[in-house]
Structure 1
């Protein structure tokens, strides 16, 4: 009987069944996964039995379900995420089982009173039972901490690779300035070195050492030339 209409189910065809109420019996075993093919089912009451196992994972395809009562059994496991698809669900009672994990997030699931979930495993969490689940705060802060650590490593790696470039650029610039200002015969050698540095040297450090040596030679030559000029200038002052 459904809303004043009496229907007969022949040949085991129950796909148009609207209500199943087998509460307060001594039913054992698992909830058959085939129950989820009853797409027209509006009310399912399996409460106060001795059922074990878990809720079928595809229960969410029973979109017409308005009332679900699985209370006072021995069911366990996580609540299927597909339960968030039961948009017409207005009555829910999963109390006094052994469910654990996070309550699926949906407008419907969070609209029920906490009494619909009481008496389960202590690890059952999330609204409307608890504001958060264990590890939520850690998972929120972890990306920040990890991100900070990654940023530090990235900066260190950047400066590690950038520092030789700075040193090489400074050495090249210094050698270039000295070569032009002094108009030294080394000027042509320096220009040749600049033009062929990438082709001739595969090792950046070797190139850097050569440039530093060139700078040293140019500075030494400049100091010697300056010393000779000072010696030439001294007699004219004494006279």
Structure 2
């Protein structure tokens, strides 16, 4: 809580200098050009709307950020994990959407988190820090995963869909079974027919064999009649 806060400007300087006395956790601190060293921002219960300014993530010394009870929309800044000194985040009761940034799991000093009553969706990033908060920190969204009771469901393809997918994926592959059948037929055909074309003696033997078979067949037919 701020015990004393004032702003001063010296006419001899062209740049506007700001001074502030802040009490944080019982420690009195004085800041000059405070935007670089600001520790806490509380803009809760206003009528702010639009996306959270990405510039807020440049406040690398920030320890507490409270934007609750506003009408902020859009996503939580993706690089919020760069604010490594954050100890408290309260974005509750806004209209934030999308997934919780994975980088938020890097905030190892985070001891207070409230993202409830927004339009966030997807899986809560996995980290020891984020799973240590109660489910109330995430309620009122479409989130899943620990510490919430609803697990994130992953659609598993059925065997029919899986076989169909494999078949579709193999449409452009060569079916070697049919290739081997065709190749075997060609090789077998020419192994038998080829010598008849190029060897006269084999042709004579073959035709004599056919004549004998024809004579035998004629005898069998005559006996049947």
Q: TM-score band (shorter)?
A: 0.5 to 0.7
If each structure's helix is expressed as a fraction of its own residues, which one has the higher value? 1
Specify the alignment match of 2:24 in structure 1. Answer: 2
TM-score, normalising length from structure 1?
A: 0.61
How do residues 54-133 of structure 1 correspond to structure 2 at under 5 angstroms?
54-120=75-141, 123-129=142-148, 130-133=150-153
Q: Is the contact between residue 29 and residue 53 of structure 1 (CA under 8 Å) also seen in structure 2?
A: no
Query: Which of 175, 182, 186 is 1:164 aligned to?
Result: 182
Within 2, Cα distance between the matches of 1:100 and 1:153? 37
Q: Which residue of 1 aligns with 2:59?
A: 38
Q: CA RMSD in A?
A: 3.6
Which of the two has greater strand per residue? Answer: 2
Q: Is the contact between residue 49 and residue 70 of structure 2 (CA under 8 Å) also seen in structure 1? A: no
- Offset of 1:150 from its aligned partner? 4.5
Instruction: Map Cα deviations across residues 71-97 of structure 1 (whole Å, 9 max, x no partner).
Output: 122333332233233343332110112
Indicate the SS of the match to 1:76.
Answer: strand
Provide the residue aligned with 2:198 in structure 1.
186
Decide whether the 8 Å contact of 2:144 with 2:152 is kept in 1. Answer: yes
**C-alpha distance in structure 1 between counterparts of 2:87 and 2:159, whole Å:** 39
The 3 A distance-change label for structure 1 pair 227 and 124 is: closer
Q: What TM-score results when the alignment is normalised by the length of structure 2? A: 0.64
Question: Matches of 2:136 and 2:159 in 1, distance apart?
Answer: 31
Confirm whether residue 29 of structure 1 aligns to residue 52 of structure 2.
no
Unmatched segments (≥5 aa) in structure 1 = 189-217, 231-239
Q: Supply the distance in 2 between the matched residues of 1:171 and 1:33 (Cα, whole angstroms).
A: 76
Contact 2:62 2:86 in 1 (8 A): yes
SS at match of 2:167: helix
Contact 1:28/1:52 (<8 A) preserved: no
Is the CA contact (8 Å cut-off) linking 2:96 and 2:120 kept in structure 1? yes
Seen in structure 2, the aligned counterparts of structure 1 residues 160 and 83 have a Cα distance that, compared at 3 Å, is: farther
